[in-house]
Amino acid sequence: MKTRYLFQWMQSNSINRKKRAIEKLTSICLQDESILENLLEELKKCIDEEAEEVRAIAYKAMYQLALKYEKIAGEIIRIYTTRFSDEGPLSKTIMISIIKKIIEKYPSRYDNEIKNLFRVAIDTDDINLKSIAIRSLSNIVALDVDFVLSNIEDVLAAVKSNNVNLIVSALEALKSIIVFMPDEKISDIQNSVKEALNNSSYLVRSHALMVLNVLIKEKKTVINESLIALIKKKLLDENIPVKVEALKTVFTIIDNNPNLIDEFLGAIVKECLLRQKNSTLKVIVLDYLSENIDKIPREILYRHNLPRILDIIDKNTVRKNEKLSKIKSLARTILEEKLGITYEMRKNL
């Protein structure tokens, strides 16, 4: 359809026709800058429409154009910041997520007006808007540490909420904030993470493990018996995403202290290599062992019958697909090339 007809559609009283025109013209403009000026003027008219769904799609179109043409990014941001307080929940949520993406691409566009906008969004009672604003702190921390740290109490409060999306957003933010956190606040994060690890949602539990992993990497938490027991419990979690993050956390721990593999290897072997049918888990474990087996004392490997387990996996795995082929190859490689256990020697395992 010719662009002149699409521009005529933007004058239509039909909401659906107007939305289709915006989508099609935006797609064209991303390839042809010649209509940018006219389209932007029409979009400015659309954000005065009574129908919020038209305003919302116009805001989205402005964002797409701003990412393509930086020369209009500043103008688009000003439109958002000026109109934000007057908009409905749907448009506000779209606007705040769009501004986050724009400053990701153009960090120099971040300023006090944007900071104030995020502060308002964090303070809101609208869960979706608050969730996006809190998650956005992960991006803002590289631009304005002080602002992010000034909102840490809101982030910690969000972790204690009853809304899964809000909790996950807060945990996502914490992952990026930890490295900048003053030591006196670390215990608050640790307590929040421990609480989240017992949440009924597997999404919350898996994200809590991600935060715990960062705490361990940054040496912001002590690895003691209590923590080890907590992580071992998560290796037994019924949900695969939680098991995966628990494994990654274990790997972080033993990267720093290989002897601590003794605390976890029994659970890993039984739960992830023997009992669990999930191929992804097996590949994660075998990949790690293949790369790090030389760091693990041999007596620990034999104490937990790892060579015997690898032999069983190799013999019982049929190459039905790519993952199963990888599992079989990794098990054999670790046995024969890494541990030096030949096929003949394997008969005596």
Q: What is the pLDDT along the chain (349 residues), one digit of tens a residue?
A: 588 888 888 888 899 999 999 999 999 999 999 999 999 999 999 988 888 889 889 999 999 999 999 999 999 999 988 888 888 888 888 889 889 988 999 999 999 999 999 999 999 999 999 999 999 999 999 999 999 999 999 999 999 999 999 999 999 999 999 999 888 889 999 999 999 999 999 999 999 999 999 999 999 999 999 999 999 999 999 999 999 999 999 999 998 888 899 999 999 988 888 887 889 999 999 999 999 888 888 899 999 999 899 988 988 888 889 999 999 999 999 988 888 887 777 777 6
- Backbone dihedral angles phi then psi of residue 249, each to the nearest 5 degrees: -70, -40
Q: What is the pTM of this model?
A: 0.85
Q: In whole angstroms, what is the distance from residue 118 CA to residue 132 CA?
A: 10
Cα 24 versus chain centre, distance? 31
- Backbone dihedral angles phi then psi of residue 32, each to the nearest 5 degrees: -140, 100
SS3 11: coil
In the prediction, which pLDDT does 349 show?
Answer: 66
Identify the burial level of 16 via C-beta atoms within 10 angstroms of its C-beta, where 0-12 means exposed, 13-18 middle and 19 or more buried.
Answer: exposed
Q: In whole angstroms, what is the distance from residue 151 CA to residue 141 CA?
A: 11
In the prediction, which pLDDT does 1 show?
Answer: 58
Record: fold of 1-109: Leucine-rich Repeat Variant (1.25.10)
Going from N- to C-terminal start, the domains of the chain cover 1-109, 259-349
- Spell 312-324 as b/e; 16+ CB within 10 A means b: ebbeebeeeeeee
Structure tokens at 186: 């670390």
Residue 106, number of CB atoms within 10 A of its CB? 15
Structure tokens at 53: 């769904």
In the prediction, which pLDDT does 320 show?
Answer: 87
